[in-house]
Structure 1
Amino acid sequence: MKVIFSLFFIFLYCKQSAANDLWTIDKNISSIEFEVPVLFTKNVIGKFNEFDGFVSLDLSNQNNNKALINVRIDSLDINYKRYKDLVLSEVFFDAKKYPLGLIDTNNFKFNYEDNKINLIGELTIKGKSQNIPINIEVIKLASELVQVKSEISFSRNDFKIGTGNWKNTTILKDKIKIKANIFLFKE
């Protein structure tokens, strides 16, 4: 149901954004990866294979600017393949109950000459939302194609990613780092 609601919201917002510059993700060349440090062994490294989103820019009223990106939690691949079912279970992401992770930003300032943007985004995982700082680099590749690079980090315990014995941060550390390399096409 939440997936349907999210897709409906994206569709509705895109329709309202007709007068704005609307940019959509090229999912074939974009990537969203993550890393969690682990004591005495290789870090947990992974990527999301299914994600979607858009950026809507209103240069005449930047209070209307918006970016929304979601990832399908169950589309993740990790280097510890034997633990994927555990990671998707209620112990970590509870992907059946909470199938999407979401970053939503509003009211950010942008002009096409800037290549650095610092903003606050609302990260939602497992039904919990938290504002986090997001530093973004925008690389203009063509008049209707930009590359957006970003890195965020957050506490997995803030979102209850790891419960019971897995809540402990001695071995599996608390900070999750997400790196996004997104290519956006102007519609």
Structure 2
Amino acid sequence: MSELTADMSGDWRFDPAHTRIGFSTRHAMVTKVRGAFNEFDGVIHADVENPSNSSVQLTIKVASIDTRSEQRDGHLRTNDFFDAPNYPEITFASTQIDQVDDRNFIVNGDLTIRGITKQISIPIEFVGVERDPGGQLRAGFEGTRRINRQDFGVKWNTAMDSGGVLVSDRIVLEFEVSAVKVENNSDGGG
């Protein structure tokens, strides 16, 4: 199934084993650093017939940041960047979802990083829905959104000899979501 149908209405949970909540940014102004958060909890409430009644909630554990460099990850957890001891979570709560066409949505909501909340809009593509071999109904969504880290109090940087900076202010948030429908399987068993 690759289209939205009424039976998709209901609650869906992000499957952490098949979902990536990531980011990328320029490093030294010439290369990209990519990373992801490995611990998060996401819930979608879908109302297919009236998407404006749908919602998304996402909580990310900052300490789970993974850029494939323990030294860099440790630095990102400090007050220079995310200040994980004082702000252990990044949250997103949708405030409005607009359907653009059969496969595309704009998810508007409040993104909170380091205790600073900003309204952002995330273009999201519905990739499809299938029942997996385990019998679970699974839907895929993808999207990206560019933000300025300075807007969220993530200000650390160092100057390069060339006049640039080590870390770009522009961060691309990357969402590759596999969500599993919460279904009541009442089979009469115990």
Root-mean-square deviation (CA), in Å? 2.4
Alignment-mate amino acid for residue 139 of structure 1: V
Alignment-mate amino acid for residue 117 of structure 1: F
- Per-residue displacement from partner, 1:98-126 (whole Å, max 9, x unpaired)? 11111111332459x82111232211100
**Structure 2 matches for 1:1-40, cutoff 5 A?**
21-40=10-29
Alignment-mate amino acid for residue 28 of structure 2: L
Q: SS at 1:43's partner residue?
A: strand
Residue 46 of structure 2 aligns with which residue?
57
Q: SS at 1:84's partner residue?
A: helix
Q: SS at 1:173's partner residue?
A: strand
Contact 2:96 2:108 in 1 (8 A): no
Pair 1:169–1:74, CA change in 2 (3 A): farther
TM-score, with length taken from structure 1: 0.78
Find the partner of 2:103 among 97, 101, 115.
115
Task: State the 1:133 CA deviation.
Answer: 1.8
Q: SS at 1:157's partner residue?
A: helix
**Structure 2 matches for 1:1-187, cutoff 5 A?**
21-59=10-48, 62-110=51-99, 114-142=102-130, 144-163=137-156, 165=158, 170-187=165-182
Task: State the 1:62 CA deviation.
Answer: 4.3
Task: State the 1:23 CA deviation.
Answer: 0.9
Pair 1:105–1:40, CA change in 2 (3 A): closer
Q: Which has the higher strand share?
A: 2
Contact 1:65 1:109 in 2 (8 A): no
- Higher mean alpha-carbon deviation, 169-178 vs 66-75, is at 169-178
Pair 1:85–1:154, CA change in 2 (3 A): same
Pair 1:181–1:81, CA change in 2 (3 A): same
Pair 1:145–1:49, CA change in 2 (3 A): same
Pair 1:40–1:107, CA change in 2 (3 A): closer
The number of residues matched between the two structures is 166
Task: State the 1:40 CA deviation.
Answer: 5.0
Q: Distance in 2 between matches of 1:164 and 1:171?
A: 6
Q: SS at 1:97's partner residue?
A: coil
Pair 1:23–1:120, CA change in 2 (3 A): same
Alignment-mate amino acid for residue 154 of structure 2: I
Unaligned runs of 5+ in 2: 1-8, 132-136, 183-190
Q: Distance in 1 between matches of 2:96 and 2:173?
A: 22
Q: Distance in 1 between matches of 2:140 and 2:16?
A: 12
Pair 1:25–1:164, CA change in 2 (3 A): closer
Larger Rg: 2
Alignment-mate amino acid for residue 77 of structure 2: L
